[in-house]
Amino acid sequence: MANSNSGQPQFIASTGNRSFSNAPLIQNADTDQIVVPDRKSWKNLFAYMGPGFLVSIAYIDPGNFETDLQSGAQYKYELLWIILVASCAALVIQSLAANLGVVTGKHLAEHCRAEYPRGPNFILWVLAEIAIVACDIPEVIGTAFALNMLFNIPVWIGVLLTGLSTLVLLALQQYGVRKLEFFITFLVLTIAGCFFAELTYAKPVASEVLKGLFVPQLKGNGATGLAISLLGAMVMPHNLFLHSALVLSRKIPRSVRGIKEACRFYMIESGFALMVAFLINISVISVSGAVCKSSNLNEEDKASCEDLDLNKASFLLRNVLGSWSSKLFAIALLASGQSSTITGTYAGQYVMQGFLDLRLTPWLRNFLTRCLAIVPSLIVAVIGGSAGAGRLIIIASMILSFELPFALIPLLKFTSSKTKMGIHVNSLVVMLVTFLMYWLSHWKTVSVVFLGIFGFSGVAIYLAAIAYLVFRPNKEATHLLALTTPGNGDMANDPGNTSIDCLPREDIVSMQLPQRRQTQDID
């Protein structure tokens, strides 16, 4: 794939070889690479900073805000435990995704293409694309709500205007993707700071918050569906593909110590980023619960709490922001949706390249995904208005929750395979703990939701597909980048060994946008 944007085709097909080339990939400095020094120092952590924070954006997108607000308004603090379980599971899962990319030099979608026959591989690709579209729906609706609050534009017109956000995003990226991400993160953290400040006014009872965090409970008819939506909004399938690919943009020392350090620092970075996202989600639920369940709530705010969505949530910040609450909340919501668009674009590129060995240019990939998300959003916005659009966000989050096993199980199988991971293979405990965390927050899903929506045949197909992924033995051996014995740790530097990759992966780096013209060296 050419590094120059000029003259680059919109659709690129590789040679069609299903096996991945292990030849050295970085031969020039015309890519956005970050070189990790070959030294033992905590300062190396700064070289690994980036992928975890980019992934964490998906944990504070408009879908998360919507489910958090409804959770607090309807059930106060009773569903906080879902956020805790999902955040702990997310840390384990995202770390596994990063480890898979670091150790093997391939991301998750590439492993699926190499491991599974064409039929199952195609189905997994379709499911991954559906997950990306389902993730884009909250971004479309969130942006439409933001435009409504800022300019009084009807929601359905705002949905149409979101199709232009791709062009706006690309226009801003000429200043550099890192500057854009810092600006967006600043806006999102600003609204998070407002919710933290609002906590001092709402004064949630600490004992009730702790009970909600550590005592699992699902009371009420709608609690199960909302709990599933919370899980889907927190742990998104496309994030697993994204994280395993983003780590390939670093040029790390190819030694046992270097790879162990990379895995450790990526986990630390992910933990810090996910902790920030966890605190933001907890604060949103706590503020929503404390305000909407307050005994001295006026009639107007009480009506808003009964049918709370992103379009009405700005009143929660009135104590902090006053009359500016609506405008500033809308700006942060707009920033949240656009930052999530970046992660969706990256994930879509990696999924298509990995499963099908095909690539689209970023703007075209983003535009196609956005069009698929606009269609259901527009229909619901026209028919159901803002309330219907808000419910569509919940449905989209539920879809993400149901699709999670089809990305999670391959990840667990691959990272538990000694032929792929060598000495960095997962322990059985990690696999069991991950499954326990997932099913702890999913324990009523099959019995309540699936039996009610799909019936017995749907449950059977769903469970059969999961069983196939779980029990199918791994057949594809990976050329290990981390060797099985510490004594062989210097083999990666052997110029005659052509089976060892030289990271960063040029094809991964070149898919990130925009591209810079210099190599970054982290001292």
Residue 502, domain member (yes or no): no
Cα(341)–Cα(344) distance, rounded to whole angstroms?
5
Residue 519, domain member (yes or no): no
227-230: Cβ within 8 A, 24+ apart: 227/79, 227/82, 227/441, 227/444, 228/397, 228/398, 228/401, 228/402, 228/442, 228/445, 228/449, 229/67, 229/394, 229/397, 229/398, 229/401, 230/67, 230/68, 230/71, 230/79, 230/82, 230/83, 230/86, 230/397
Residue 517, domain member (yes or no): no
Residue 268, domain member (yes or no): yes
The pLDDT averaged over each successive group of 10 residues in the chain (523 residues) is 38 40 33 68 81 85 87 90 88 92 92 92 92 86 86 85 68 61 68 76 87 86 79 82 89 85 91 90 90 81 80 77 76 78 81 84 72 79 76 81 87 89 79 62 48 59 83 67 47 42 58 46 49
pLDDT at 180: 61
Cα(239)–Cα(372) distance, rounded to whole angstroms?
19
pLDDT at 233: 74
Residue 17, domain member (yes or no): no
Residue 391, domain member (yes or no): yes
pLDDT at 83: 92
Total-model pTM: 0.77
Look at residues 20, 234, 188, 197 and name the one whose alpha carbon lies nearest to residue 107: 20
Cα(380)–Cα(508) distance, rounded to whole angstroms?
37
Cα 222 to the center of its chain, rounded Å: 25
Residue 170, domain member (yes or no): yes
What is the CATH number for 56?
1.20.1740.10
DSSP 360: E
Cα(244)–Cα(74) distance, rounded to whole angstroms?
36
What length is written for the chain?
Answer: 523
Cα(135)–Cα(282) distance, rounded to whole angstroms?
21
Residue 488, domain member (yes or no): no
Cα angle, residue 181 at apex, residues 231 and 159 outer, rounded to 5°: 65
Residue 499: how many other CB atoms lie within 10 Å: 10
DSSP 416: T
List all residues 6 or more positions away from 316 whose beta carbon is below 8 Å from its beta carbon: 69, 195, 198, 287, 288, 291, 325
Cα(111)–Cα(249) distance, rounded to whole angstroms?
17
Query: DSSP secondary structure string, 193-222?
Result: HHHHHHHHHH---HHHHHHHHHS----STT
Cα(380)–Cα(156) distance, rounded to whole angstroms?
9
pLDDT at 12: 34
Residue 281: domain span: 41-293+301-474
- Number of domains the chain is built from: 1
pLDDT at 110: 93
